[in-house]
Amino acid sequence: MKILVCISNVPDTTTKIKFAEGNSSIDPSGIQWVINPWDELSLTRALELKDDASSGVKSVTVAHVGTAGSEPTIRKALAIGADDAIRINSNASDAYYVAAQLSEVIKKEGFDVILCGIESSDFNGSAVGGMISEFLGIPSVSSVSGIKFENGSPVLTREIDGGRESVRVPVPFVAVVQKGIAKEPRIASMRGIMTARTKPVRIYEPSNVENLTEIAGFEKPRPRAACKYIDPENPALLIELLLNEAKVI
C-alpha cells in the first residue's frame, strides 16, 4: 500500500502577515515557512500507519507544488519519516492548478491512498483534496478524523454535524483530513534529519494547465472597536447592551 501526502508550504502561525506591491501579494521577508499544520497531521498519521506492520502500508511519499524555495519544507517532511518526495516545479497559483498538477503525477506514479489536509493556513481554501479525487475519478471522503486498516481494508472516521460515522471505501481514494487524524505532530529524529539529505526528491516540470481563479489583492481586516467595559457591580447593564445595542439576544 502506497500513501501519498500532499503538503503545502505556509507561513508559520505566529508570522505577522504583511503585504508587498500595493497589497497584491504577501511580503516574503522574515517569513518562517513550515508544513501546513493539517498536512503535518496527515503525514504523522501516514507514518504511524507505516510503522504498524499490520496496516500493509509500505511507503509514504510527500508531494508538493512549489519552487526550489520549498526545499527545506520538503526536507523536513523527509526528516520526519517520509520515504521520498515529489516536487512539481512551479508556483502554486490556485487550487485547481495545484490539484491538476498533482493529479498528473499521481496518474504517472500510482498511489493507493492520497491524504490532503482540509485547508491550508494561508489560503484557507479547502479545495485541493476534493479536486484531485474528481480529476482522478476516484472516491473521496472529507472531514476525516481517523484512518485505519482492518484486514487490509481502509476504515475511515468522518465527522458529521453532531457526531461521527465510520466509512468504508476501496483503494484508491482521497481522504481530506482534519484535526483528530493524529494526536500530536512528529519531530524529526537525528538520523531522520541526517538521512533526509539522501532521500530522493523527484522533480517534475508542470503540465500545461490554467488556473480558474486569481488573487487580485489583499486587505487587512478592519480593527475591532475598543472594548466597552461594564462595571462588575452592575452586570445587568451588559445584558441591556447585548439586547438593545448589539441585538444578539
Question: Footprint of another protein on residues 207-246 (CB under 8 A)?
Answer: 211-221, 224-225, 227-232, 235-236, 238-243, 246
Of 51-59, 85-93, 104-112, 138-146, which part binds another protein (CB under 8 A)?
138-146
Binding to another protein by CB under 8 A, coded x per residue (else -) over 96-115, reads x--x----------------
For position 149 contacting another protein by CB under 8 A, the verdict is no
**Alpha-carbon separation of residue 21 from 27, 123, 167, 206 (angstroms):** 8, 19, 47, 26
For position 53 contacting another protein by CB under 8 A, the verdict is no
Q: From the list 134, 152, 203, 207, which residue makes contact with another protein (rule: CB under 8 A)?
A: 134
Site for another protein in 13-32 (CB under 8 A): 13-17, 19, 26, 32
For position 202 contacting another protein by CB under 8 A, the verdict is no
C-beta closer to another protein: residue 21 or 220? 220
In 3D space, the residue among 95, 89, 122 whose CA is nearest the CA of residue 214 turns out to be 95
Q: From the list 20, 51, 108, 194, which residue makes contact with another protein (rule: CB under 8 A)?
A: 194
Beta bridge partners of 117: 177
For position 160 contacting another protein by CB under 8 A, the verdict is yes
In 3D space, the residue among 111, 109, 112, 164 whose CA is nearest the CA of residue 142 turns out to be 164
What values do phi and psi take at 240, rounded to 5?
Answer: -60, -45
Please list, in sequence order, all residues whose beta carbon lies within 8 angstroms of the beta carbon of residue 246, skipping any fewer than 6 positions away: none
Q: Which three cell numbers stand for residue 85?
A: 518526495
Give the whole-angstrom CA distance, residue 178 versus residue 216.
Answer: 29
